[in-house]
Structure 1
Amino acid sequence: LGTMVALLKLYLMAFSFVFWAAGLTMLIIGIWAKLSLETYLVLSTNEYPNTPFILLTTGTAVIVWGFLGCYSAATEHRCLLRTYGSFQFAVLVAGLAVGLSNLLYRKDIAEGFQNGLWEAIRSYTEDEGKTEVLDAVQRSLNCCGVESYRDWFSSPWSMEKPTPNSSVPMSCCRARKGCLHSPLPSDAWGIYHDGCFTKISHFVSDNMFYIATAGLGVAVMQVVGIILTSLLAARIPSGGVSHSI
């Protein structure tokens, strides 16, 4: 029995270190997701789960509980071990929620962004928030319009120009200096020709897949931790600490 408890303690302490590292990874992914995806999600007409917030919150909690897991295993504190096991179950649920929701919502990304891009073009300069985001997206992804730069020609913004149906925003220009964008020359020289829909949907969809994989990986890992925690807690007397020989 003493050897078994010692081995379980060793395994659980090693797992807690991996658990702590996973929490740090989740925190980093959460920060990255918030910085890289939040801007693009503004343009979508579909509602998505607040994945970055879930990752940031769970990652921070896992870092704290990773240390407590090592402490509870080292001191053989039965009550704390059971609490640690309950927390691991909560992380398992959170990981499954992040992973499955992102996998499921990837299917709705195309429709959400296509509609959102059209809305942003129709309300260009009227909705300042979406205007700034759309300009930033066109510059960063080197794109213009939804399917192509010609999508701007039918927009209310272009229709109000002195030469209607022939203008695109400055954010479509490859270089600001010397860019003829309002009106465009016949060959549309100096602007991005490709639309943003394909680029932005692929970018967000791919990154959501990576986040989903990370979330599911953390969830699966918790099964091992819950088993180790339960086995060790079951072998510790109700008094709190085992006295192994």
Structure 2
Amino acid sequence: MAVGQVAFTKADREKLAELLWLLNWISVLTGAMLFALGVFLKIEIQKWQEVMSDQEILRVPHMLMTTGVAACGINFLGGKICLDCADTKKFLRWKLVMIPYVVCTFFFTFCILVGALMCYSVSTQLEESLFLGLRNAMRFYKDTDTPGRCFLKTSLDLLQIHFHCCGNSGHQDWFKVQWVSNRYLDLSSSAVLDRLRSNVGGHFLMDSVPFSCCSTFSPRPCIQQQVSNSSAHFHYDKRSQLMNLWGRGCRQALLDHYTAIMTSIGVTVLLIWLFELLVLTGIRYLQTATENVLRLGDEHLESHGWILEKSFAETARLNLNIMKNLGKCYQAEERQQDHNINTHGAGSVTRQH
């Protein structure tokens, strides 16, 4: 029994064709929207790509842009096909194209769903990328004279100021790296030399943070040096240092930022997918109903359209048998080629004798 079988009169088929023509043109606009969302997401990622360890997350905007371009092309062609399907004689020009077109539209619609799911599944990978990227960027913060790293200081400072964050997980991350370049250290000072000798790897570590960690909401001038030493500053309680420095880590700040963007884009893409699924269903009904009219031989007669000609189980069994037969044909062809090679080889040996 056919799945989703519906009866269509001639007037119903014409109205369906006209409606699908309109929906396909709307789908061209949604395809352009998909492309625009991909471009927007790529730009947002590239703003802070210097603090990411890998660029695998760029697969999401690339997927959206590719799907958007495909949507524009497929739906533009679909509008022309659906308009011609209103006339049975014009449908004959597209009869051989309809099955490949429906299959391509199905896979394109599936790709939209994959793009939406990618927006929700990338958060774990993004968090790891930000953790490693920020850790490396903080290590190279001081290398303002090294090619390829000279802009990391500016990028990190702008990041901390823009997102009101400090360090990777918090301001104490700056205590574990040397973020002051040796060129700005007085190496003739015994205090500096003692600190360099006392730390592992000869790094100049101290309980201080860059200026960009300072909170603009602090009621007093920012305390950057000896942050953990309450006695070093007048009327300073290190328990209230959250008022002095940004309390949130930049990894969480960026993760929240991108998660909000991804969630919004994911919802939009899911809505586009539902719309494209509706268009695909309508095209399938139009195709099957019009083909049945051609079998009947009279376009004025009522015809039936369906999503699947047989039940889900029968369709799956039929496709499985087709795949098995293709596999058997391929194996038979390989055996025949091996037989020909062996026969040719034996003939060559016989002639030599």
Residue 81 of structure 2 is aligned to residue 59 of structure 1:
no
Equivalent in 158, 162, 172 of residue 150 of structure 1:
172
Q: How far apart are residue 128 of structure 1 and its match?
A: 4.3
- Residue 97 of structure 1 corresponds to 114
Q: Which amino acid aligns with 2:167?
A: G
Question: For each residue in 1:173-230, what CA deviation from the matched residue of structure 2 results, as whole angstroms up to 9, or x when unmatched?
Answer: 679xxx9898578578986454212211111122222222233333333322222112
Farther off after superposition, 57-66 or 28-37: 57-66
Q: How far apart are residue 64 of structure 1 and its match?
A: 2.8
- Residue 140 of structure 1 corresponds to 162
- Residue 29 of structure 1 corresponds to 37
TM-score (norm 1): 0.78
Q: Which amino acid aligns with 1:216?
A: L
**Contact 2:213 2:245 (C-alpha < 8 Å) held by counterparts:** yes
- Residue 341 of structure 2 corresponds to none
Question: For each residue in 1:14-67, what CA deviation from the matched residue of structure 2 results, as whole angstroms up to 9, or x when unmatched?
Answer: 321331222122122112101112334553346435111111121122123322
Matches of 2:257 and 2:174, distance apart in 1 = 22
Matches of 2:67 and 2:214, distance apart in 1 = 41
Q: Which has the higher Rg, Structure 1 or Structure 2?
A: 2
Q: How far apart are residue 96 of structure 1 and its match?
A: 2.1
**Contact 1:168 1:184 (C-alpha < 8 Å) held by counterparts:** no
Change (3 A) 1:117 1:94: same
Residue 269 of structure 2 is aligned to residue 215 of structure 1:
yes
| Unaligned stretches of 5+ residues in structure 2 | 1-8, 86-93, 186-191, 193-203, 228-232, 301-353
Change (3 A) 1:34 1:184: farther
Once the two structures are aligned, what percentage of the paired residues are identical? 20
| Unaligned stretches of 5+ residues in structure 1 | none
- Residue 13 of structure 2 corresponds to 5
Farther off after superposition, 216-225 or 196-205: 216-225
Q: How does 1:102-141 map to 2 (within 5 A)?
A: 102-124=119-141, 125=143, 127-128=149-150, 131=153, 133-141=155-163
Question: For each residue in 1:104-148, what CA deviation from the matched residue of structure 2 results, as whole angstroms up to 9, or x when unmatched?
Answer: 222343343233322221232363465554344223213221233
Matches of 2:262 and 2:14, distance apart in 1 = 41
Matches of 2:251 and 2:107, distance apart in 1 = 37
Matches of 1:131 and 1:159, distance apart in 2 = 11
Matches of 2:152 and 2:112, distance apart in 1 = 31
Matches of 1:22 and 1:87, distance apart in 2 = 17
Tell me how large the CA RMSD over aligned residues is: 3.4
Matches of 1:97 and 1:39, distance apart in 2 = 25
* Helix, strand or coil at the partner of 1:90: helix
Change (3 A) 1:5 1:143: same
- Residue 85 of structure 1 corresponds to 102
* Helix, strand or coil at the partner of 1:231: helix
Matches of 1:134 and 1:57, distance apart in 2 = 32
**Contact 2:57 2:126 (C-alpha < 8 Å) held by counterparts:** no
TM-score (norm 2): 0.57
Change (3 A) 1:63 1:130: farther
